[in-house]
Chains A and B, each alone.
Chain A
């Protein structure tokens, strides 16, 4: 760019130009994981205005199989079953010059069984926890309980989060639970208890579907169909493998955060948020929309506190003040998230947080568009799983 030195920002050269969700439904008869992956690849390339034959790297699920089925070799494949870290893998292929146009695809189907049990991927297998009947809701409940004991966070505050996100899905025509609503906090509290404090409607649902993104070199983004979206920052925090140990709120490692031990496992994601805001030169006040991962209602309250949108213990009051509601200061999870839009396992529902962030910054959301949104913070993971991955998106090239 004339008159301006090249940016040293790690993602200066990267633009997100394609973002696409396949059909999402409780079940997609006749579809397989692989057929959904192909739908997602073609859909994301069409969204970007990119010819599939120009893709020179595949990231995510089954990349080698996609390369073979599309007859594209030799091109780069990078396997990853993670969400936001897989997007970073795609971005890194561009920043290192290994690839110019990268597709990240993921899908889930055929994973659910009608056997009266929770979804198979929600059950822990580690020897120390396998025999106690845990599943994701129970593990996340152990974290939420500590917050309620420490700060007085209430079931009504949790239910307000769930009602907000489910109502975002209720109005979204492509959500699995489109039209299933609207909900009040009282409706959430009246649903059956699953794992105290989580009622059924505090929890994510399960479904089938896929999605894909296309990333390309920023100087090639002018030829694509939509306004490019840029990665302003991204970082990850982990306290260890999910679901293999007691998820204790106050577990602390030697190096968590800027000072030893200053981030407990309950606030995992805080170090990552600091990193993202440092990378971007921005802060919570600059964020227009929060596409936070919503496996359970409490997680929104936890993340608002962990990422610095409010003080510790203040998240419950923040959501009651309408901050996360449509038209509020920080609308959250505006497509209905894993509670209502889609949750097909593996990493589809994680990538979908970033896809929604891209749609918000393009200004193309047909429902719950945040007017003039220029910065979106997207997250994956949660505290019962002991990790958080963050990605900050913007409309301006960093």
Chain B
């Protein structure tokens, strides 16, 4: 079954101070993450110290929005009735070197494979929140 983004009646994130730049990015159509000024490691989710070297100097940057499917599930019994089944939560490993929890869209649920190349697309669900989803990246 073709997977589409679930947008209506779903839980809306409450944005924390540290992650505000991330959500500003998604509203602007960009996938932003922190990079460590000391060791250059990517840092996600948003934090106050580098998880690789413990430096407290992190700078927000804009990523490629491209990556590969690391893991996924296809859900047939929804969390709440707001989620039409099937839907496919997934971990996408971004080319920028970090993992994002998201959902896969724009393909049949049987077409998902390990390492499938994917690219981000954005869908607003409220005035403040735009969510990233990932579809097959046909440029790769």
Binding site for B on A (CB under 8 A): 115-118, 123, 125, 127-135, 137-138, 141-143, 145-146, 149, 192-197, 200, 244-249, 251, 253-254
Let me know if A127 and B72 touch, CB within 8 A: no
Apart from the given pairs A142-B72, A194-B75, 12 other A-B contacts in the complex at a CB distance below 8 Å: A116-B80, A117-B79, A118-B80, A127-B16, A132-B103, A137-B77, A138-B79, A193-B77, A195-B74, A196-B76, A248-B91, A248-B93
Known: A192-B77, A245-B101, A246-B100. A134 touches B89 (CB 8 A): yes
Q: Which residues of B contact A143 (CB under 8 A)?
A: 71
Known: A127-B16, A128-B45, A131-B131. A145 touches B71 (CB 8 A): yes
Let me know if A141 and B73 touch, CB within 8 A: yes
Report the minimal beta-carbon distance from A248 to chain B, rounded to whole angstroms: 5
Report the minimal beta-carbon distance from B114 to chain A, rounded to whole angstroms: 5
Known: A127-B13, A142-B89. A117 touches B73 (CB 8 A): no
Q: Bound state CA distance, A245 and B81, in angstroms?
A: 23
Known: A128-B13, A128-B19, A245-B45. A133 touches B101 (CB 8 A): no
B80 in complex: contacting residue of A117, A249, A254, CB < 8 Å: A117
What are some 10 contacts across the A-B interface (CB < 8 A)? A117-B81, A123-B11, A123-B79, A128-B19, A130-B11, A131-B131, A142-B72, A142-B89, A244-B45, A251-B99
Report the minimal beta-carbon distance from A166 to chain B, rounded to whole angstroms: 18
Interface residues in B111-133 (C-beta closer than 8 Å to A) = 114, 125, 129, 131
Known: A127-B13, A130-B13. A142 touches B76 (CB 8 A): no
Q: Bound state CA distance, A249 and B90, in angstroms?
A: 13
Q: Which residues of A contact B16 (CB under 8 A)?
A: 127
Let me know if B71 and A195 touch, CB within 8 A: no
Known: A133-B10, A141-B73. A118 touches B131 (CB 8 A): no
Q: Bound state CA distance, A245 and B82, in angstroms?
A: 22
Let me know if A195 and B103 touch, CB within 8 A: no
Instruction: Please provide the 7 A-B residue pairs with the shortest distance between their CB atoms, ordered closest to farther.
Output: A127-B13, A141-B73, A133-B83, A246-B101, A117-B80, A246-B99, A196-B74
User: How would you classify the secondary structure of chain A's contact residues: helix, strand, loop or mixed?
Assistant: loop
Let me know if B78 and A246 touch, CB within 8 A: no
Let me know if B45 and A133 touch, CB within 8 A: no
B89 in complex: contacting residue of A138, A146, A245, CB < 8 Å: A138
Q: Bound state CA distance, A248 and B97, in angstroms?
A: 13
B13 in complex: contacting residue of A117, A131, A200, A254, CB < 8 Å: A131
Q: Which residues of A contact B10 (CB under 8 A)?
A: 131, 133
Q: Bound state CA distance, A128 and B102, in angstroms?
A: 9
Let me know if B80 and A142 touch, CB within 8 A: no
Let me know if B91 and A131 touch, CB within 8 A: no
Known: A128-B19, A149-B114. A133 touches B74 (CB 8 A): no
Interface residues in B32-67 (C-beta closer than 8 Å to A) = 45, 51-52
B140 an interface residue at 8 Å Cβ cutoff? no
- The interface centre, meaning the residue of A127, A138, A197, A200 with most chain B CB atoms within 10 A of its CB, is A127
User: A118 — nearest CB in chain B belongs to which residue?
Assistant: B79
B15 an interface residue at 8 Å Cβ cutoff? yes
Q: Which residues of A contact B77 (CB under 8 A)?
A: 118, 137, 192-195, 200
Q: Bound state CA distance, A115 and B76, in angstroms?
A: 17
Let me know if B71 and A142 touch, CB within 8 A: yes
Q: Bound state CA distance, A168 and B22, in angstroms?
A: 48
Known: A117-B81, A245-B101, A246-B100. A131 touches B74 (CB 8 A): no
Q: Which residues of A contact B101 (CB under 8 A)?
A: 128-129, 132, 134, 245-247
- The interface centre, meaning the residue of B13, B71, B103 with most chain A CB atoms within 10 A of its CB, is B71
Let me know if B73 and A195 touch, CB within 8 A: yes
User: A196 — nearest CB in chain B belongs to which residue?
Assistant: B74
A135 in complex: contacting residue of B76, B79, B125, CB < 8 Å: B79
